[in-house]
Structure 1
Amino acid sequence: MTGAAIRAAQYTILVIAAWFLFKSISDLAPYPLDRKLTKTAARSSCEDSSPFTAQDDEFSWESIVPSEELVWHECYSDRQCARLKVPLDYSNPDATSAAIAMIRVHSIVPHNSSDYRGPILINPGGPGGSGVDVVQTRGAEISTIVGPEFDVIGFDPRGISRSTPRVSFFESRSEREVWLRSPDNLYALSMNASADALPRAWAQGIIEGQLAGQRDDGSLRFINTDHTARDMLRIVQAHGREKLQYWGFSYGSILGATFAAMFPDNVERLVIDGVADSENYFATEWSNNLVDTEKTWGAFVDGCVAAGPQGCAFFSPTATELEANVVKIYASLRARPIPVRTNTSFGVVDYSMMRSVIFQSLYSPYAKFPVLAQALAELSAGNGTALFKMSERAAFKCGCDLSEFRFETVFDGGIAVRCNDGKRMPGSYEDVLEHYQNMSKLSSWADVWQSLRLACAAWPELPKNHFQGPFVANTSFPLLLVSTTADPVTPLAAAKKISQGFAGSVVLTQDSPGHCSISGPSICTQKYIREYFLKGTLPEPGTVCPVISSPFPSHDYGAAADAQAVLAPFAGDRELLEAVIELAKTFDFRFLGGL
């Protein structure tokens, strides 16, 4: 047997072993996200815009006094937390301050070692997602990917969750809860649900914009991506460094591109993953995000057909038949919604809920496609419980101690960021209607995407003098951009477009459906990311990485074996494989009304 044949056989054995490990973990924990539900989420999961709410323990963020020096405190059993004081207004840095909440997974390598490589900042997206929550719950997996030489640091951007001042449009938790729990709330409503769905959503958006202006304590204008990029530089400097190492997902790609354009000489390693079109975002258009959404939905349809009746509960012999069955369920729910009562809550499964659940499932195929298939199969038989549980929120419970909820993650902050960031949009209903009609020509999923812009229609007249581009720079180190081939909200074309503005940057493509690379298990992709952080090695332009399996059960080992042999195996491959599988099965992007 030749050396090449031996290596090919070794690669095949490695990938087959990877498949069986993937299968065993999948069988043991088909939807392990439920393990992370906490008391905080139970009090008001409607306000929990991130599925990674940090588990309750005896630690209190109020016990940390914000300081200009980084002072780390033990928290959450095996993490360290800090609150860094930064200027609220960078044009007047000696005035009021803000406090940025941070959490870290400490490097295994001692900080005084020559092997220590410094901090990597993480942003999970949104806008409005909590980096603290992600690193608290998934920091170990991220650390496994990037390597023990780094600290992994999650931070809550200004205005978000534990960072203060926190944005809030509502005078009480109950007031926000009543608003969000409405069955016709604009974030839960398909614009195709009824003749008045779009105008009702527009009217609700007007109210949110008015509330933001009326209840502004003076800090609202400083909650934007420009200032958050400056905060990141302060975090880096507080570590005694001048250059940023960063991994940002989804909206985090906009934050990363903004930092690179504003501070090109302060880039050490910068990965943006699930790349959005920053120019389109800052124009407050959000109009080209859905270019590849049909591909993602097609991956569900074709994957279910290929998996067969034993691999997919909603199986049909052909894609055409499966699509027709979905249309039948839509029609049935329009005619007669299904009441559902679970052990913890109750509600109605209607057309809007089905559209929303399917759309959210496109973000996380490995976590959601098998579950969605089961829910659709039960829906076709008139049982809505499984689909209802996919979006179920625990009953709201009031708390006597308001300080207990001071650091809750609420949806208000994400709205503030995107409305402050973007160009002022016309607020008339006619403008909203025209935008929706144009979006509907581009994608059949416009009905669940349109709500993103609506709160900005009546946004207060705040200054728009912050950075909004151009996204062009010769950075001190080239950027690595990562995209899947079928991302439902940040298409591959956006990554290629943004890459053109940053000299020497490379787009790494992962051949899978889902939002961001970690939505699919690829050793190949994550090895490239690790090598980039550790050695500064960029993949060759045009590199495409495979995943180790499909979201549905499969036994096609051959293609995966050849493709995953891009990088030679090493001793830590098993740990890396377990980390990428765990992230793919649990990293559930559910930020309310965001990326």
Structure 2
Amino acid sequence: MSARRRLATVVAGVATLVLALSGCLYAQIPPVAPDTGRSLAPQTQGVDEALLPYYGQTLAWSDCGSAGFDCTTVTAPRDYADPSAGDLTLSVIRHRATSGEPLGSLLTNPGGPGVSGVDTVRDSLGLVADEALTRSYDVIGFDPRGVGQSTAVTCFDDAGMDRFLYDIPPGARGSDERDAALEQRAADFADACEANSDGILPYISTENAARDMDLLRAVLGDAKLNYLGFSYGSFLGTTYAGLFPERVGRMVLDGGIDPSLPGSESGLAQAVGFENALRAFMADCLTTSECPFSGTVDDAMNDLSNLLARVDARPLAGGDGRQLGADSLVTSIVAALYSDQSWPYLRAALADVQNGDASVAFQLADFYNGRIDGRYADNTMQALRAYNCIDYPDEGDDDDPALQAALEEQAPVVAPYWIGPDPCAAWPAPPTGTREAITAPGSPPIVVLGTTGDPATPYSEAQALADQLSQGVLVTYVGEGHLAYNKGDSCVNSAVDDYLLAGTVPAEGLRCE
């Protein structure tokens, strides 16, 4: 019997991207009033009595070691439906507003699922909030449940993660032997996660993380949630809006994700997104003297297919003993396609691989996987699996020939490396998530940003999300790479800042070019 197979879902956090400045115009839409109702006291109005001990807790802030930052922890229930199931801890960082009385708290999430919001705000505040926002808001980063310094999903040690992410399974691609080895690898990983995560796996879901955000809102003293979410963080924000539309303040979702799209269709959309991003890369590459390819874009894509097949058949040895197979090479390609500023590294990696050198490709793959000098800086790749296996419902055991045909037709270069045995088949906790439209009736306007050339969160999903939300407002950035805000485009930044700071709703159909 063939293994249950599913399309890959490639998700990551904020990628650095610098874009050209452009101008834009705003229609005269009445602004959203700053209904934050901020207080120094926890906000417990409308909270279930069983949750009052959590919503009523007082925070003890301490210095984080850098000027302007302080940190705390918040206790949350493992199970909001049954608080007696035990507690977990959320790690929180705050960058205090630098000018005057803050408008309130601005919660942020950099994506993943699994990227540390604490590390991102502490180490790269400029990625999530520009100077205008840091002047006026207390910018809040937090590690969602299961992530980083919060009560974390723990699976393999560093050596185990190397084997899990980089080892090449036996057998030909698509063979029963290879699929069985991949299934065993996924089962071993799941067993380790269950053994080392102290029983939290059933509770690591986006719905619970969204409920944690409402808890954070309350203990921070804000009547409404002001929020700026990126990539997966847009799905987290959308989920919050669906649960608590009346508690939404000013919300911006960059790299919108369609919550109604099944995992298989989302994987297809991402495959097509990265295929198209590869074509954009090739068009640029062919104009440079450093490009390892020649001819037309189609010629270059065909040559890349041949290179991937060659590496699949004969992996390259790295300097540390690891073998670069086609899967790791695809990971390195994907990593570089998050930003056109990384395209020179991708040119170098592919040129070196053609000459038998895997070093730059490994650098890109290691960057994507959070691997630094043989160690893993965080548990992003472990938390990512935990969230996805709970959030995405099982779509069944049968292959979908139509989906496979669409993948091969629309993404022929990446298609052979985009499908495999279901990595969640052996997960110890059953999925509890659903894939359905979220409308958030009664919320104020929610601004959704979509980038036309975004490979990881395709523009079509941002369009769908903005259409689904009862008060969705789409802002389009015409450009390449993942995400739009705070990447150097004045039109996008003005739209976001004017909304978060003054409540000015972007014009319907606003395009930033």
> What is the TM-score of this pair, normalised by structure 1?
0.68
| Alignment-derived partner of residue 488 in structure 1 | 455
CA distance in 2, matches of 1:301, 1:178: 30
Q: 1:334 to 1:214 in 2, by over 3 A?
A: closer
| Alignment-derived partner of residue 70 in structure 2 | 80
| Alignment-derived partner of residue 117 in structure 2 | 131
| Alignment-derived partner of residue 86 in structure 2 | 96
For 1:458, what is the secondary structure of its paired residue?
Answer: coil
CA distance in 1, matches of 2:174, 2:329: 11
Does the 8 Å contact 2:394/2:431 carry over to 1? no
Report the Cα offset of residue 141 of structure 1. Answer: 4.6
CA distance in 1, matches of 2:295, 2:401: 39
Is 1:421 the counterpart of 2:391? The answer is yes
CA distance in 2, matches of 1:135, 1:99: 19
Report the Cα offset of residue 489 of structure 1. Answer: 2.4
CA distance in 2, matches of 1:99, 1:424: 29
Q: 1:94 to 1:19 in 2, by over 3 A?
A: closer
Report the Cα offset of residue 233 of structure 1. Answer: 0.8
* Residue among 411, 429, 432 paired with 1:443: 411
* Residue among 267, 273, 295 paired with 1:292: 273
Is 1:176 the counterpart of 2:163? The answer is no
Report the Cα offset of residue 359 of structure 1. Answer: 1.9
For residues 215-234 of structure 1, the aligned pairs below 5 Å read 217-234=198-215
CA distance in 2, matches of 1:541, 1:122: 25
Q: 1:433 to 1:388 in 2, by over 3 A?
A: farther
Identity %: 28
Q: 1:93 to 1:388 in 2, by over 3 A?
A: closer
Q: 1:462 to 1:334 in 2, by over 3 A?
A: closer
| Alignment-derived partner of residue 424 in structure 2 | 456
| Alignment-derived partner of residue 44 in structure 2 | none
Q: 1:141 to 1:379 in 2, by over 3 A?
A: closer
Q: 1:277 to 1:93 in 2, by over 3 A?
A: same
Does the 8 Å contact 1:512/1:520 carry over to 2? no
Q: 1:92 to 1:331 in 2, by over 3 A?
A: closer
CA distance in 1, matches of 2:245, 2:155: 35
* Residue among 344, 354, 358 paired with 1:380: 354
| Alignment-derived partner of residue 40 in structure 2 | none
For residues 97-112 of structure 1, the aligned pairs below 5 Å read 97-110=87-100
Report the Cα offset of residue 484 of structure 1. Answer: 0.8
CA distance in 2, matches of 1:431, 1:329: 28
Does the 8 Å contact 1:76/1:136 carry over to 2? no
Does the 8 Å contact 1:67/1:83 carry over to 2? no
| Alignment-derived partner of residue 71 in structure 1 | 60
| Alignment-derived partner of residue 498 in structure 2 | 531
* Residue among 145, 148, 158 paired with 1:161: 148
Report the Cα offset of residue 194 of structure 1. Answer: 7.2
CA distance in 2, matches of 1:190, 1:246: 47
Q: 1:519 to 1:369 in 2, by over 3 A?
A: farther
Report the Cα offset of residue 410 of structure 1. Answer: 4.8
Q: 1:415 to 1:363 in 2, by over 3 A?
A: same
Q: CA RMSD in A?
A: 3.4
| Alignment-derived partner of residue 261 in structure 1 | 242
Any idea what the Cα deviations from partners look like across 1:242-291, whole Å, max 9, x if unmatched?
21111111111111111111111111111111122212257896443334
| Alignment-derived partner of residue 371 in structure 1 | 345
Q: 1:124 to 1:447 in 2, by over 3 A?
A: farther
Structure number with the higher helix fraction is 1
Report the Cα offset of residue 231 of structure 1. Answer: 0.8
Does the 8 Å contact 1:283/1:422 carry over to 2? no
| Alignment-derived partner of residue 54 in structure 1 | none
- Of 119-128 and 319-328, the range deviating more from structure 2: 319-328
CA distance in 1, matches of 2:107, 2:424: 29
For 2:139, what is the secondary structure of its paired residue?
Answer: strand
Structure 2: tracts of 5 or more residues without a match = 1-18, 22-54
* Residue among 82, 107, 122 paired with 1:121: 107
CA distance in 1, matches of 2:401, 2:155: 26
Q: 1:315 to 1:76 in 2, by over 3 A?
A: farther
CA distance in 1, matches of 2:340, 2:172: 24
Any idea what the Cα deviations from partners look like across 1:447-499, whole Å, max 9, x if unmatched?
44446x823112335473x6765401224311111111111122111111111
Any idea what the Cα deviations from partners look like across 1:134-187, whole Å, max 9, x if unmatched?
1112114533255210121111101111111x22245xx2673464265127xx
Does the 8 Å contact 2:201/2:429 carry over to 1? no
CA distance in 1, matches of 2:276, 2:172: 22
CA distance in 2, matches of 1:411, 1:480: 29
Is 1:270 the counterpart of 2:270? The answer is no
CA distance in 1, matches of 2:254, 2:121: 16
Report the Cα offset of residue 328 of structure 1. Answer: 4.4
